[in-house]
Amino acid sequence: MITFEQASVRYGERLALDSLSWHMNEGECVVFLGPSGAGKTTILRLITHEAQPTSGSVTVGTFVGGRLPRAHRALLRRTLGIVYEDFRLLNDRTIFENVALPVRVAGKFADEDVEPRVMFALDEVGLKDKQNAFPDELSAGERQKAAIARAIVNRPAVVLADEPTGALEKKSAEEVLALLRRIHSEGAALLLVTTRTEVAEALPARVLMLEDGRIVSGEPGMPAPPPGAESAPWTVEALGWSKEDEDTRGAETVPPEPERIVPEPAPVPPAAEPVDHSERKL
């Protein structure tokens, strides 16, 4: 679902990424491990299309690199949930409003449908009771959990995380990693970049070591052969979305109804021959 083909990024004299080729599939967990300045954040910025490769190509789903039309960029962002080292919450809004923002931006839901989605995401990260708090009333670990709720509230196909435990003490860091592990086990692909070996080790990840914009060890992965076409059309299917999903996707984000315990009523037997009661004698 994400493919880099000889993608390079140059900033003046500095080659931030040097002909990078790698691939990850839907539902995979990949960690880029490398020192500061290795190019990790640049990789994530290429995926979100905040940056363009100087040469080579970056494909996310069927969004091929290059400048995407606005509508495609917006759709792409909706299929990506992003978690940053410094949380990037809006400090003048409550936790509820921070998590609600990407739902409102998606623009698909009526106000009364936003609330259950947000509360479901807050419940997943254990912050239901903090919905009315402001970010500066939370611990760093709680702020990162709120940021994770914001990242997953639209049920993205991929969660991107840039040093998500960098600003956290050990216990919160472990909780945040456990949360990311769980989100991944529930089906989201996870791409995390970090300088910390122990973070890579805490995840069921394929680890790629990055130095000076190059993969120096690890299995870069082979892209699945493209389904038929050489140049796939710009559709959303490869991200696991279809038009139908567009309409129903939200339904997955609210808690499922409890299993039906009462069996379906037996089908009504075909009508018997009408009885002529007028003939009936007592």
Piece of the chain touching ligand ADP by CB under 6 A; list 35-43, 106-114, 218-226, 256-264: 35-43
41 binds ligand ADP (CB under 6 A): yes
38 binds ligand ADP (CB under 6 A): yes
Q: Choosing among Mg ion, ligand ADP, none, which partner's interface includes residue 222 (Cβ < 5 to 8 Å by kind)? A: none
Q: Choosing among Mg ion, ligand ADP, none, which partner's interface includes residue 102 (Cβ < 5 to 8 Å by kind)? A: none
Q: Choosing among ligand ADP, Mg ion, none, which partner's interface includes residue 38 (Cβ < 5 to 8 Å by kind)? A: ligand ADP
Piece of the chain touching ligand ADP by CB under 6 A; list 19-27, 32-40, 224-232, 270-278: 32-40
Q: What is the DSSP letter of 15?
A: E
3-class secondary-structure state, position 272: coil
Q: Which is nearer to ligand ADP, 4 or 96 (CB)?
A: 4
94 binds Mg ion (CB under 5 A): no
40 binds ligand ADP (CB under 6 A): yes
Residues in region 89-118 near ligand ADP by CB under 6 A: none
Would you say 208 and 28 are in contact if contact means Cβ atoms under 8 Å apart?
A: no
Q: Which is nearer to Mg ion, 41 or 172 (CB)?
A: 41
14 binds ligand ADP (CB under 6 A): yes
Q: Choosing among Mg ion, ligand ADP, none, which partner's interface includes residue 14 (Cβ < 5 to 8 Å by kind)? A: ligand ADP
37 binds ligand ADP (CB under 6 A): yes
Q: How far is the CB of 178 from Mg ion (least distance, A)?
A: 23
Structure tokens at 8: 């390079």
Q: How far is the CB of 161 from Mg ion (least distance, A)?
A: 11
Given 3, 42, 98, 144, the residue binding ligand ADP (CB under 6 A): 42
Would you say 7 and 19 are in contact if contact means Cβ atoms under 8 Å apart?
A: yes
41 binds Mg ion (CB under 5 A): yes
- Summarize as ranges the residues that interact with ligand ADP (CB under 6 A): 11, 14, 16, 34, 36-42
